[in-house]
Amino acid sequence: MSFSSLSNPELIKNSSFINGEWQQSQSNFDVFNPADQKSLGYVSEVTPEQLEKSINSAHAAQKEWRDKTVDERSAILRKWYDLILANQNDLASIMTAEQGKPRKEALGEVVYGAKYIEWYAEEAKRINGDYLPVNQNGRRALVLRRPVGVVTSITPWNFPGAMILRKAAPALAAGCTFIVKPSELTPYSALALAQLSAEAGIPAGVFNVVVGSNAQPIGEVLTTHPKVSKFSFTGSTQVGKKLLSQCASTVKKTSMELGGNAPFIAFEDADLDVAVKGAMGSKFRNAGQTCVCANRLFVHRDIHDEFVAKLKTKVEELKVGEGNQEGTNVGPLIDEKAIAKVEQLVAQAIETGAQIITGAGRSEAGQQFYLPTILTDVTPEMDIFNSEIFGPVASIISFESEEEVIKLANQTEYGLCSYAFTQNMNRVFRLTEQLEFGMLGINEGVLSNPAAPFGGVKESGMGREGGRWGIDDYLETKYVCIGDVK
Ligand code: SIN
């Protein structure tokens, strides 16, 4: 795949976008297609001076952006949304080329990401304050909600478009300015969004993209610069903890969407076909490379064998291949490190007693393709139970009682997403109260929705993205007390 077939070649940019301008530098890095490991092109490394400029210009642009009427901000955002939809085919091609996901999923992500802009273009009109009762005559008490200021962010490679828009849309709607450092593995999607932001009329300095292959020094500036008020991160818990501690030096507001170890529970009364469909959607989407992927599949012993047989049939129907090939459901893993990690987890599980039902090895489709895999007899002692797999491996654990499975499900430092399949309404309420996760899907394996709060508890992070909760993360609450009112 090359980018020469795009209808809008203007979407391919190869440098940072700062203060409305494309900023080249002397040093470049390559971006590779994970399906064949060939270079797609090179991108300019952001320099320390350019990085500083991005923060200064976002800071300078914020007042004017904040002071626009809400109708103006909303209309500009809506234009960005329209342009993304108009370019959705090209954006999906870029995404499949640099990330590997099947074209249908890439198109789905482009539209899903754009929907955050549409949603927040409307929500901008509902940033309301309060008029409070007072404790003394002659006083008035108001509560205002003001944009936090300059927001910086670091986003991951698994959703190269939507994770940016899920942050940028509420930030811009709230009146903040925004700088994102996308993953060095998938910068082209971010740069294409920047191009469309400029075409939409988003003023210079309001939306900036800084690209670089060495995340550490860039992250340090984005998390410590005194002109930055808020930092938002999606990525691993390990990196999130480090970034969070850096943010402490200037007491930045933070949003952290970190790792997960989602339990998927199929109870004895589950509709088996619904549960298998849920498992397929949750586990194999994006080749298992999502933070919300079912990571531990707990299946009641009474339905275990039937569930495994039905799942095996569906898993063996999956077509592994390059994302643009007709019918592909499972693309490559992002890089050699990712596939080696999956191999190691599977090998350790097998050595310690897990059974292979299907898969468990690299696919003939190419170096970075892993076969959709099912393992049974997984136990809490195995690494695969305790680590985020980030690959197309369903690891199944048999259980006997509700009490036991809730305890096992909660036996993790993570708390992002969970899934349960049951027909028992009383049990549903017990699960909503007892599962220690920020999100719960009941008889549903894919929850994403721009109107809903996405986020985790425990070491899966803090803050929520989406819905009315998502914009709160970009607003400060200001109390104004007026005295001597006659
Ligand atoms: C994620 O893996 O963090 C995003 C998944 C989604 O939005 O559905």
Pick the residue whose CA is nearest to atom 7 on ligand 1.
Answer: 448
Q: Active site includes 247? A: no
Catalytic option among 247, 291, 293, 417? 291
CATH 3.40.309.10 domain range(s) in the chain: 262-449
Determine the straight-line distance between the first and last CA of the chain, rounded to whole angstroms: 72
Phi first, then psi: give them for residue 482, nearest 5 degrees.
-110, 125
Pick the residue whose CA is nearest to atom 3 on ligand 1.
Answer: 291
CA–centroid distance, 23 to ligand 1, in Å, is 30
CATH 3.40.605.10 domain range(s) in the chain: 9-258+460-479
> For tokens 């002692």, what's the residue?
381
Mutation choice for ligand 1 from 101, 155, 163, 417, CB with most ligand atoms inside 8 A: 163
CA distances to 283, 297, 371, 374 from 308, in Å: 14, 10, 17, 8
Closest ligand 1 atom, residue 112 Cα: 7
Q: Which fold has domain 9-258+460-479?
A: Aldehyde Dehydrogenase; Chain A, domain 1 (3.40.605)
> For tokens 């607003």, what's the residue?
475
Spatial separation of the C-alpha atoms in residues 14 and 373, rounded to whole Å = 37
Mutation choice for ligand 1 from 236, 255, 292, CB with most ligand atoms inside 8 A: 292
Closest ligand 1 atom, residue 257 Cα: 3
CA–centroid distance, 288 to ligand 1, in Å, is 11
Please name the residues in contact with 109: beta carbons below 8 A apart, sequence gap of 6 or more: 92, 95, 101, 159, 161, 162
Please name the residues in contact with 350: beta carbons below 8 A apart, sequence gap of 6 or more: 356, 360, 375
Spatial separation of the C-alpha atoms in residues 358 and 69, rounded to whole Å = 58
Spatial separation of the C-alpha atoms in residues 455 and 259, rounded to whole Å = 10
Closest ligand 1 atom, residue 291 Cα: 2
Phi first, then psi: give them for residue 275, nearest 5 degrees.
-65, -40
Pick the residue whose CA is nearest to atom 8 on ligand 1.
Answer: 448
Catalytic option among 123, 257, 388, 465? 257
CA–centroid distance, 448 to ligand 1, in Å, is 7
pLDDT score recorded for residue 1: 60
Spatial separation of the C-alpha atoms in residues 75 and 93, rounded to whole Å = 27
CB 481 within 8 A of CB 141: yes
CA–centroid distance, 291 to ligand 1, in Å, is 6
- What's domain 262-449's superfamily in CATH? Aldehyde Dehydrogenase; Chain A, domain 2 (3.40.309.10)
Spatial separation of the C-alpha atoms in residues 334 and 173, rounded to whole Å = 32
Spatial separation of the C-alpha atoms in residues 243 and 63, rounded to whole Å = 27
CA–centroid distance, 485 to ligand 1, in Å, is 50
Mutation choice for ligand 1 from 101, 105, 159, CB with most ligand atoms inside 8 A: 159
Spatial separation of the C-alpha atoms in residues 310 and 318, rounded to whole Å = 13
CB 22 within 8 A of CB 191: no
Pick the residue whose CA is nearest to atom 6 on ligand 1.
Answer: 448
CA distances to 145, 194, 204 from 199, in Å: 29, 9, 11
CA–centroid distance, 240 to ligand 1, in Å, is 16
H or E segment at 39? strand 39-44
CA distances to 17, 18, 185, 188, 194 from 30, in Å: 18, 20, 9, 11, 20
Q: Active site includes 291? A: yes
CA–centroid distance, 63 to ligand 1, in Å, is 32
Spatial separation of the C-alpha atoms in residues 202 and 64, rounded to whole Å = 12
Mutation choice for ligand 1 from 183, 237, 291, CB with most ligand atoms inside 8 A: 291
306 SS3 class: helix
* pLDDT tens-digit map of 268-319: 999 999 999 999 999 999 999 999 999 999 999 999 999 999 999 999 999 9
Nearest by Cα to 261 from 291, 300, 236: 291
> Which residues of the chain register pLDDT less than 50?
none
pLDDT score recorded for residue 4: 79
Spatial separation of the C-alpha atoms in residues 271 and 261, rounded to whole Å = 24
Spatial separation of the C-alpha atoms in residues 486 and 483, rounded to whole Å = 9
CA–centroid distance, 49 to ligand 1, in Å, is 33
Average pLDDT, the chain: 98
Pocket of ligand 1 (CB under 6 A): 158-159, 234, 257, 290-292, 448
